[in-house]
Structure 1
Amino acid sequence: MTFRARLAPLAAALLLAAAGGASAQDGKVYKLAYIDPLSGPFANVGELMLAHVQYAVDDINAKGGVLKGQAKLQLLQFDSKLSAQESQSALQAAIDQGARAIVTGGSGSSVVTALVQAVNRWNQRNPGKEILVLNHSSIDPELTGKACSFWHFQTEANTAMKMKALANFIKKTPDVKKVYLLNQDYAHGKQWASYGRQLVGLARPDVQFVGEALHPIGRVKDFAPYVANIKASGADSVITGNWGQDMTLLLKAAGDAGYNLRYFNHSAGSVPGTVLAVSQARLGQLTWVAEWHPGQADSPRVDALAKAYKAKMGKDFLAPRIDMTPRLLAAAIDKAGSTETVAVARALEDLSFDSVVGPVRMRGEDHQLLLPQVVNTIAPVDGKTVKTGWEGTNYGFRTEAVYTGNELAQGTDCKMVRPGG
């Protein structure tokens, strides 16, 4: 487990002495813990997410914090190592240090599910010391479906919502005819494949699904054998939930093989290295979906935030939803007028928030945030639809379609059990 405190020694001693005690309850400091991968094959993803969360926390504090200046947020940092066991150890360490909320999501749905289950047990056994889980990137619909929890809030569109957006686009893209499903061998990868078959099949009954494969997450170094199988199937498109190095290595292998595929993905373009990989492959079209993409037209509020973020952090801004996550928490604390966890959770339910990507709402029945989704494709700069290159390349992002959260909202199997019955 890796923990990197960013406090002066004296301040750290004072805050740790108060952890879990009256001062945290009174609102002098509200601790939230970041638990996501900071080492291993997806460390670059974890560092990106951490930078977004840290920037938002610092900005909230710079503007006075919460509760009309009575409280400041403090971010603790832990390395999940992409492991459910390590994440639960980090959770206990965070609790011991006084955390009242967990920010997570980049470790994958199986890890986040384990964290939510651990939080459920802790909260049941420790009334008055409950904590929340704020999930910015794990998009398993079960987390706001059958496995929903009063203590868990999802600030990203889920798998079904994202696939619905892509299916709507594919419906209008006749050159997609034969589709291969290639995904990581864990819950999210299997769900991305399943929703692909279901929703794309409904939108385009003429599409043929010509093959399917699962591969170990983060362990494949050469995707050439998988690309060979895709080519043998005759596929023109791949529905893949791959992210991080599993996406960039797939692009490289297809480019090396001279295979010009279309890829449909949930968030690959917001991960460092993906645009560079597409430009180096010089083949293939990667279409993905997110709440915003760099260079998106008519997004002045995101542009301003991205500029301020780059000036302070020295990195490119990529994910408004991650920046939004602690801001939603701060808004709920202010709405509740308290840092007491049950009150904050109730304030989050049905919270409407004027975000940089437009109005969003945390649906109370299942704690799923309804936010816009933009279907976009990584493509060469042409001065018209793609005006700015990314990652030092002449490739950027072309907007294909924009959908509101309400347009993509799905039904839910959630049967929420709330405190007090």
Structure 2
Amino acid sequence: MPIRRTFTPLALATLMTCGGAHAQETYKLAYIDPLSGPFGNVGEIMLTHVAYAVDDLNNQGGALKGQIKLQLLQFDSKLSAQESQSAFQSAVDQGAKAIVTGGSGSSVVAALIQAANRWNQRNPGKEVLILNHSSIDPELTGKACSFWHFQTEANTAMKMKAIANFVKKTPEIRKTYLLNQDYAHGRQWASYGKQLFALARPDIQFVGEALHPIGRVKDFAPYVANIKAAGADSVITGNWGQDMTLLLKASAEAGENLRFFNHSAGSMPGTVAAVAATGTGQLTWVAEWHPGQAGTPQVDALAKAYKARTGKDFLSPRMDLTPRMLVAAIDKAGSTETVKVARALEDLTFDSTVGPVRMRAEDHQLLLPQVVNTIAPVDGKSVRVGWEGTRYGFRTEAAYSGNELAQGTECKMQRP
């Protein structure tokens, strides 16, 4: 059975708020992501973002003009499809109507979607939504799309298109190596990297490719040696968590000054510190926002309030907006009935802290902006804020709207 976690002070405050409102209904949503093991620190960061948004929503009255309060349950997925499915069953047994997930990887999220599909078919009137904030396999909103699943993060193809657009204007990138975790997302990051880099820059040479076990490599020196022997100047890698920080460490120890192209590792704990510790290498990544980004007053205000409340740095607008979009859909539907809420989420335009975003109805893919940025030394101009106690922060390279990055879809949505 999955471990049901002890609530953080923030999540506990949310529950206390709910418990004191006897005249109000309670809408339960469950957080299912890694809270232990090699990626437990990542899961805790994601949980704190979601819990903050839930608590803030409750402080504003919840949903349906104060009639509904939110209650956040939390479960440790242990980065396992089996554990996640057990957690799903525990969550629905406790009355959860929505699952917030994404940090366990696309294969685990796919298993949760399948569990929701089965449950919803067998239990009409007790349906459950899957709200996916971080697993970015395009298949989840493509061939494997589900009416019950909504993705609040740009998918792999969208992110790689943003990076490829930047690489098109970066002639010093000539020889690229592909090193990725051996699971669905890692293989897709490599595949889309090949396709979209080649379209953007037909002159780029792909000089090697390798996959490695996720979360199990302790020393990346042999992989870095192979990259060096191939003569690469850059690496397309979907690594995250300790797999990214250890790769950066090994590269620096080998004296390599490689450029790494990644999806979200810059926001993961320890990544900036790993770059700053050596002063070598460059990590270019893409997200809906990065700390210190100019011209983002709404995110800046949110980040300040979040830090004051949690004592932690704010990293991810999309995780914060996920429960907020859910409440907006409940308000739009005028109901907590899951089918009605799902229909309200379809084509919902939401004024997020990073600007208006839209949940595309045909495949349930959120269209939100993406900013390509590089970890670099603070210079007071292009890099304004140091991160993780270092003199390194984030330099904006390029920004694209969700519509600019939108891809076609093979989704053939089956609606109830």
**One fold, TM greater than 0.5?**
yes
Q: Specify the alignment match of 1:96 in structure 2.
A: 93
Q: Specify the alignment match of 1:258 in structure 2.
A: 255
Q: Specify the alignment match of 2:317 in structure 1.
A: 320
> Pairwise mapping of residues 70-81 of structure 1 onto structure 2 (< 5 A)?
70-81=67-78
Q: Distance in 1 between matches of 2:229 and 2:360?
A: 44
Q: Specify the alignment match of 1:198 in structure 2.
A: 195
Aligned AA (1:134)? L
Per-residue CA shift, 1:234-293, capped at 9, x if unaligned? 000000000000000000000000011000000011111100011113111100000000
Instruction: Tell me if 1:302 matches 2:303.
Output: no
What secondary structure does 2:134 align onto? Answer: coil
Q: Distance in 1 between matches of 2:124 and 2:384?
A: 54
Q: Distance in 2 between matches of 1:96 and 1:5?
A: 18
Q: Distance in 2 between matches of 1:212 and 1:56?
A: 40
Match for residue 83 of structure 2 among 86, 98, 105: 86
- 8 Å CA contact 2:360–2:366 kept in 1: the answer is yes
Match for residue 113 of structure 2 among 116, 128, 132: 116
Aligned-residue Cα RMSD (Å) equals 1.4
Instruction: Tell me if 1:141 matches 2:135.
Output: no
Moved more, 361-370 or 383-392: 383-392
Aligned AA (2:331)? D
Change (3 A) 1:310 1:234: same
Per-residue CA shift, 1:72-127, capped at 9, x if unaligned? 00000000000000000000000111100000000000000000011100000100
Instruction: Tell me if 1:341 matches 2:342.
Output: no
Q: Distance in 1 between matches of 2:329 and 2:45?
A: 25
> Pairwise mapping of residues 15-414 of structure 1 onto structure 2 (< 5 A)?
28-414=25-411
- 8 Å CA contact 1:254–1:281 kept in 2: the answer is no
What secondary structure does 1:176 align onto? Answer: coil
Q: Specify the alignment match of 2:5 in structure 1.
A: 4
Q: Specify the alignment match of 1:20 in structure 2.
A: none
Aligned AA (1:226)? Y
Q: Distance in 2 between matches of 1:205 and 1:317?
A: 38
- 8 Å CA contact 1:27–1:339 kept in 2: the answer is no
Tell me by how many angstroms 1:2 deviates: 1.9
Q: Distance in 1 between matches of 2:210 and 2:277?
A: 25
Moved more, 281-290 or 46-55: 281-290
Moved more, 380-389 or 256-265: 380-389
Aligned AA (1:70)? Q
Q: Distance in 2 between matches of 1:27 and 1:253?
A: 54
Aligned AA (2:183)? Y
Aligned AA (1:37)? P
Q: Distance in 1 between matches of 2:414 and 2:24?
A: 27
Q: Distance in 1 between matches of 2:25 and 2:393?
A: 44
Tell me by how many angstroms 1:4 deviates: 2.9
Per-residue CA shift, 1:120-170, capped at 9, x if unaligned? 000001000000000000000000000000000000000000000000000
Normalization by structure 2: what TM-score?
Answer: 0.96
- 8 Å CA contact 1:27–1:338 kept in 2: the answer is no
Q: Distance in 2 between matches of 1:335 and 1:27?
A: 18
Structure 1 unaligned blocks of 5 or more: 16-22
Q: Distance in 2 between matches of 1:333 and 1:287?
A: 37
Structure 2 unaligned blocks of 5 or more: none
Tell me by how many angstroms 1:325 deviates: 0.2
Tell me by how many angstroms 1:393 deviates: 0.4
Normalization by structure 1: what TM-score?
Answer: 0.95
Aligned AA (2:140)? L
Q: Distance in 2 between matches of 1:70 and 1:42?
A: 37
- Moved segments of 4+, more than 3 Å: 5-8
How many residues are aligned here? 407
Per-residue CA shift, 1:297-334, capped at 9, x if unaligned? 01000000000000000000000000000000000000
- 8 Å CA contact 1:261–1:284 kept in 2: the answer is yes
Aligned AA (1:412)? T
Aligned AA (1:94)? A
Q: Distance in 1 between matches of 2:322 and 2:203?
A: 40
Q: Distance in 1 between matches of 2:80 and 2:391?
A: 37
Q: Distance in 1 between matches of 2:53 and 2:98?
A: 15
Identical aligned pairs, as a percentage? 80
Per-residue CA shift, 1:205-240, capped at 9, x if unaligned? 000000000000000000000000000000000000
